[in-house]
Structures are given as structure tokens and as C-alpha cells.
Structure 1
Amino acid sequence: MSRARERRERVLEHLTELHRLPLGGAPDPVFRERLRADLVSGRVSAEFPPDEPARFRHAHRRPARRGPLLSQLAAFGLSAAMMAASFVTYQAVPGDSLYPLKRAAESALVGLSTNDAARAERELRSAKTRAEEVVSLLGSSDGGPLVGKTLKDMEESTRAGVSRLRRAEPRSPKIKKFARHQKEVVGPMLRQLRRDQLAQAEGYLDYIEGLVAPG
């Protein structure tokens, strides 16, 4: 006898025994134990056997509707994760493990700019970000050694952006606006800097003062 036929015979046997019970009656302990043993051993299965006609198997199947929903949820979850990762990366400061990724993303955006004016604005935006990072480093207990390097990167981005913007848009008001912003950020940090860092920051302020001056 095939395994499928054996399963079918056992199911019919159990159903017959249950059918003989009076209404409200319960199966005897021997029957319950035998049924439990059959279920555990896999000799009784609720699935249709392989030799059952296909029309009966398909008739009892529910249409799979969860596929598109699960795909949408997965896509949403991936998008949310990417947004969260981008946010965390953007918040990184010098010394963080994600900081090199942040700088690489900034460089990529500068390189992908469509013209010199857009490239210059991205470089000036990077200079603003470096100034904000210096403020964060000064507020932490272990950020001191990285302050000098960040000040240097800030000045390099500033000079590159200003030079490029002057070529693309001579006498652009964006330069003075940028210089005023940087002065407001860098000025208050002077009293927290070490002597060598202080010289860097004061030299930077002298440079941007010249950008604000009339002329």
C-alpha cells in the first residue's frame, strides 16, 4: 500500500470512530493516544496526498495575496533604513567611524555638480559643515586633537569655493553672506582653542573679513 493511501485509510478510520460517538460524547483515552501518536509520527496529515486530483487541491488553496504587500513592506523598510543610515552619516564628526563616508559623499556631490557655480556653493557648504564640526569637537572630551585638522579643511574648502564662485559669478553677494555666517560661527570658539589652533582660526577670520569688506 502506498504511503498516501495509508494516510488516507488512517484518516478515514479515525473519522469513523469519531462518527460512532454519541452527541456530546468524548473519545476514549486509547483513541486519543493513538491519534496523537499518528499525528506526531506524520502518518496522518491534513495535506492532500500527491495522487489526489489537482482540481481538489487547487480548490482548497487560498490565493496568495501577501506577496505584493510583503514586497512593498520590504521596499519601505529598505528605504527607511537608507534614510536612517544617511541621517546617521550626516551627523558624523571627525573621529567617528562613518566620518570618511560623509566626506566621500561630499566630494562626490562636488564632483557631480553641473557647473562651477554649483560646485563652488557645495564647497562653501562643506566649509560651513567643517565649522559646525569644530564646535562639536570643542564640546567633546576627546575631540581636541582633531580640531586643528578640521580647521585646516574648513579653510581649504572656503578658499576653493570662494575662488571658484568669483570666476563663475563675479561680485556674487553669496560670498559676503557666507563670510558673515562663518564669522558668527568661528568667532565665539576662539576662547576655547589652544594656541596653535587659535592662530589658525584668527588667520581664517582675517581672510573672511576681507571678503565682507566693501570693494
Structure 2
Amino acid sequence: MKKLNICIDIDGTITDPYYWLNYANNYFNLKVSEEDINSYEISKVLGIEEKEYLKFYEELKFDIHRKQELREDVKNVLNKLFKNNNIYFVTARDKSLELLTNLYLKQNKIPFDDVFVLGTHNKVPTARNLNCDIFIEDSYDNAIELSASGFKVLLIDTNYNRDPINNNIIRVYNWMEILENINKMSKEKEVI
């Protein structure tokens, strides 16, 4: 029997959090750097109207998400975790990206039990349905919402999520730290 139900966001969590930056800089003829990305709201970072950002994203979303680079150690860590835990990807991506998302994970040999492409940032109901033990996330707002609903969250550090965290959130800096924290939680769960 598998020990933990691990829910994991995709964009910025298993992938490079700044994957979209070159596309945006080229499209809008800008020179925004990774250091400039201090907000999850991309239009705000780029200094453009939301509708301009949405037009850009609609035009390029398939290309952007198809070519995302994985974070360091993601595959190695997920392969280890998958042996003893359930892995569920829970993403706010638009429903139109469902097939591409599944193909991306399979082509990159990422192990998982299921994928939930929600089309919304409200991940709490899905986490409840999956009896989530730990949620790995990069969005500060999602982490706060999940933690306020009683879920333990590992918030992977980025330039855009450095606001204060609460007791249900642990800030981590890489996937090896994620593995350490989950192994520790797994051992604690065995004791209970």
C-alpha cells in the first residue's frame, strides 16, 4: 500500500518557473529579467494590460507548455517518491491543455497516478477529493489557500512567492529538499 497522497502543481513547480519569459520578451519586445519577476501576475510584471497578456498566451500556450524545461532533480525525486506514494498532478492550466499536459509528462518520463487539469486556481476541492497529504506548489496565493484549508504545503521558492508563510507551509529551494521533507513526513505518518 502506498503511504502518502502527494499533489503537485506543474508550471513553475516541476518546470522552470521562468519558462515563459523569452516568449514574452520576444512577443512584446521587452527586456524583462528573471530578477524582475516579483509577482505571479505576469501582465503586471510585463507592464501590459491583462487582455494583451491573454492574447499572447492564447496564441503561444501550446508552444510554451510543450517546450518547458524541467527543474533540476525532478525526475530523479519523482521516481523515488512514486515507488511508495501516490503522485497526482493538479494544475490550474486551461482545459484545452489537458492532452498536451498528459503527453508532456509521458514524453518526459514523469511518473504519476493521475493528472487533473482544472482550468481554475481553486485546487482545494481536488486536494480534498484526493485526500492529499502534501501539496507541492509555487503560487503563493494557492499555497495560502491550501494551507488555510488544512493541507501541508511545500512552497518551492521563486522570485514571485517570497511573502510571509504560515505554519502549514514549508519553503523549499529545490527538489532534493522536497524529497527530504516528504521522507520525514512519511516516517512521522508511520509512527502515528
**Short-chain TM bin:** under 0.3
TM-score after normalising by structure 2: 0.26
Q: How does the TM-score come out when normalised to structure 1? A: 0.24
